[in-house]
Amino acid sequence: EVQLVESGGGLVQPGRSLRLSCAASGFTFDDYAMHWVRQAPGKGLEWVSGINWDSGSIGYADSVKGRFTVSRDNAKNSLYLQMNSLRAEDTALYYCGKDAAASYYDGSGCDYWGQGILVTVS
Amino acid sequence: SYDLSQPPSLSVSPGQTATITCSGDKLGQKYACWYRQRPGQSPVLVIYQDDKRPSGIPERFSGSNSGNTASLTISGTQAMDEADYYCQAWDSSTEVVFGGGTKLTVL
């Protein structure tokens, strides 16, 4: 069974940093691209970042570019999101998503999602 | 930047066909996928690469993509289909982008 479990969220002051983690199990982690997607309270989905299976290609939404850094450790089956210079508008539920393909721009979409972790910047 | 537009809401009677649209410049030249999100739950992929259904998704869900519009069609809509639906595509300028979402009401 595929499982994605996010951790590391919480309440943080504006300008501070936070690191999210996503522990993956139930599939061959290094075969697939991964994503971070967020959802502000009562709002729609917003893509944050994607990373290919081998970290060879990485992408960010304009809203987080230069502040957030995505990484993965295939040996630990883990995905990370380092969030610096946090702003109130970064407040959201952050989801970890497994892509159905090795490249995050393949168009295959996220076939598995975690339950999300709440980040509150205030 | 690249934008995807969806109608904010759509209402349909049980048993009828619901068609949710997603519009973007030359969207037909990109792959589109669709997600269903029920209240308080994580999104679920229902269509990928325009018209493919993941395993476990009922046949009443179908997709198409041509020109500037991708569509998600739900045939024989059931009460359990009531949810928010989001389209998603990848563009070289914006990377991955989501539409604003459509709230489907079955009444």
Do B43 and A46 lie within an 8 Å CB cutoff? no
- Model confidence pLDDT, tens digit, residues A44-94: 999 999 999 999 999 999 999 999 999 999 999 999 999 999 999 999 999
Do A107 and B98 lie within an 8 Å CB cutoff? no
> Which site among A6, A68, A111 would you substitute to test the B interface, given the most B Cβ atoms closer than 10 Å to its Cβ?
A111
Facing residues of B65 across strands?
B70
Do B97 and A44 lie within an 8 Å CB cutoff? no
- Model confidence pLDDT, tens digit, residues B5-28: 999 999 999 999 999 999 999 999
Q: Can you spell out the DSSP letters for B37-56? A: E-TTS--EEEEBTTTBPPTT
* CB-CB neighbors (< 8 A) of B43 in chain A: 37, 45, 95, 110, 113
B93 pLDDT more than 80: no
Q: How far is CA A29 from the centre of its chain?
A: 14
